[in-house]
Each structure stands twice: as structure tokens, then as C-alpha cells.
Amino acid sequence: MLPGVETWLYLCLGRIDEAWVRLIGPLFYLAAIGLLVGAACRLDGSRTAGLAMAAAMFFVPCLFVGTRGLLTGSADFPLGVLWLATVSWILAPPDGPHAERLVAVLGALLLWMKRDGLFPWLALLLIAFVWLWKAKRLRRWTLIAAPGVVLGVGFAIFLAIAKAPGDPHHLPATPANLIAQSDRIIPVAAAIADELGEVRDLEPSVARTLLALGVLTLRDRPRGLILFTALLISPGWLRARVRAQPREGPQRTSRLALPQLLLQLAPTALLTVALAIPRLPQFSLAKPAPEPESPTPAPCP
């Protein structure tokens, strides 16, 4: 998606101007603020919690520091914003075709944003399967999957026709490669574990997310499980599997993996924390309010 937006900018300007391309990242950041606050309101969270987490997003490690940050033109944070929007609509109860269409479109855009979008998209399909199976509307699962399949297969065919060069850093995720490179999984996993221990920047984010996941799961088990899948199981496992096939050795690849993964998952992790924080009326010290039997919809700005 980002190369397309840059293409559009250059086409309109008639020349290369990197100053304009530099604006794309901050615009995604502003979009993330809106999505975070809006989703916290819509999902019966607290507006104050949404605003607080939007403000906390500024302090996510690697967002401004490093080579893959928000202002470098990398697609990792925009992918995270798209994943936030997608997950926020999966968390809403399936109340009609509109939410499913929106999830389908956003899921397809995950694939369009970046090749790594394949992993959250597969996680989306898994969650949507459970989501629609419980709502007894399993047929609509194909509608959610269809845009992504059409876009992904279409673009793969296009790349083959255009004879585009392959990924210089990773082997294709084919069964033959997986088997041939299986002996490298352990060294790669060890390298990633070592890096996780070294990178202190990641610790606050990981601890915060795990804590919020635990609190949310205690309060609202379905949402907690969905977010657990969205944040940890599917993207992390699938990514680790493919990352275990570097062309250039495990160390280089693992070095690149963790900050990228953090940026891709950080907005959704912040939404998790926003949903885990109780609504503001419960904090009122001056006038302790009685516990409401059913929470009222959150007021939105």
C-alpha cells in the first residue's frame, strides 16, 4: 500500500519529493489515535482509557528510534494500525453484514500493506471462523476471506507475470524449504530468545500487554481470548516459523524481527490495555457509585 501512496504522491507532484513521503507515517499515527479512542468508546471501554492509551502510544519503544520506526517510511507501523482497526471490528458483536464487510476489506488491506500482513490475515480468518461459527453464520466466513484471497492470488499472479525479483532475505515458505531448513529452527529460536533478553526496550510493552490480557480475560473471556489470539498466538507463531528460513543466517534475521513485530502489534496491545482499564465512574472517589447491572454504551467524542 505504501509504495502505491508514494507513487500517487510523486505522480501528482510530478517529481520526487521525500518531504511529502515523510508525512505518510505521521498521518498513520493520527489515524491510530482516532481509531484507538473511537474503538475504546465503541467497545464499551472508557474514553479516558482510550485517550490515555493514545497518549501512551507515543512512548512505544522503537516508534521514533531505530531504522523501522514511524518516520522512516517503513510499513510496520501502518500494518499495526490496520491490524488495530481490524481487531477492533472483530471484537464488536456480529450485528450484521456491515461489520463483516468492513472486516473483510480491512483484512484484504492487511495483505496489500505488506507481505508480513499474511500472518495477521491468517489470524483474522481463524478468529472470524470462531466468531461466525458461534453466531451460526459460517457461510459468511467465505465472504470475509474472499477479498484477501482475490487480492493475494491476483497480486502473486501479477508478480509472476511481471517477473518481479524474489525476496532476497528469506526463502519462500514452501514445504520443501521448511523441511530442508528445519535444522535452523533451534539456532534461530535461540537467537531470538537472546535478543529478547537483551532488548530492554521491549520489556515494558510485553509486560504491559500480558498484564492487560490477563485482566481483560478475567473480566471478559471472549474478548480476552480473541485478543490473545490476535496478539500472541497466530502472528507470533506464524512469523517465527517463516523467520526460521533466512537466507543469510539466523542472527541477521532475528535482529530485524523483534522491533518490527513490536510495531505491528503495539496499537492492538494498547487497545487491549484500554479495554482492560475499568470505566471512569468506578474511579470516582468523591461519590462512590453503585455497580451498574449492565454497562451503558460509552459516550464518544
Residues 53-72 that bind other proteins (CB under 8 A): 54-56, 58-62, 64-65, 67-69, 71-72
Question: 297's torsion region: left (phi>0), alpha (psi -120 to 50) or beta?
Answer: beta
The SS3 of residue 170 is: strand
Separation CA 106–CA 112 (nearest Å): 10
CB 40 within 8 A of CB 49: yes
d(CA 151, CA 79): 16
Enter the C-alpha cell of residue 166.
Answer: 524474489
- How far are the Cα atoms of 7, 100, 124, 268 from residue 86, in angstroms, in the given order? 25, 10, 8, 9
What span, in angstroms and rounded, lies between the C-alpha atoms of 128 and 234?
13
* Residue 294 β-bridge partners: none
Task: Give the shortest CB-186-to-other proteins separation in angstroms.
Answer: 27
Site for other proteins in 209-228 (CB under 8 A): 211
Of the ranges 119-127, 132-140, 156-164, 232-240, which one interacts with other proteins (CB under 8 A)? 156-164
d(CA 37, CA 31): 10
Distances in whole angstroms, Cα of residue 160 to Cα of each of 46, 157, 166: 48, 5, 10
The smaller minimum CB distance to other proteins, of residues 171 and 185, is found at 171
297 binds other proteins (CB under 8 A): yes
Alpha-carbon dihedral 210, 211, 216, 217, rounded to 10 degrees: 60
Q: Does 106 bind other proteins (CB under 8 A)?
A: yes
Q: Residue 143 half-sphere exposure, CB side, CA atoms within 13 Å? A: 13
In the list 136, 139, 162, 179, the residue contacting other proteins (rule: CB under 8 A) is 162
Taking the complex as a whole, the smallest distance from the CB of residue 128 to other proteins amounts, in Å, to 16
158 part of the interface to other proteins, by CB under 8 A? yes
Please choose, out of 121-129, 170-178, 185-193, 291-299, the segment that lies near other proteins by the rule CB under 8 A: 291-299
3-class secondary-structure state, position 55:
helix
Sites for other proteins among residues 16-35 (CB under 8 A): 16-23, 25-35
Q: Looking at residues 245 to 274 of the shown chain, list those that interact with other proteins (rule: CB under 8 A).
A: none
Cβ atoms 195, 258 nearer than 8 A = yes
Nearer to other proteins, 23 or 196 (CB): 23
**Minimum CB–partner distance for residue 182 and other proteins (Å):** 26
Contact segment (CB under 8 A) with other proteins among 128-136, 186-194, 198-206, 222-230 equals 198-206
Q: Judged by CB under 8 A, which stretch of 105-113, 131-139, 221-229, 238-246 contacts other proteins?
A: 105-113
Q: Which of 136, 167, 179, 293 binds other proteins (CB under 8 A)?
A: 167
Q: Which of 18/233 has CB closer to other proteins?
A: 18
**Between 71 and 100, how does the x/- string for binding to other proteins read (CB under 8 A)?**
xxxxx-----xx--x----------x-xx-
Q: What is the CA radius of gyration of the chain?
A: 20
CB-nearer residue toward other proteins: 12 or 179: 12
Beta-bridged to residue 246, according to DSSP, are 170
Residue from 87, 109, 238, 271 that binds other proteins (CB under 8 A)? 109
Measured from the CB atom, the residue of 76 and 243 that comes closer to other proteins is 76
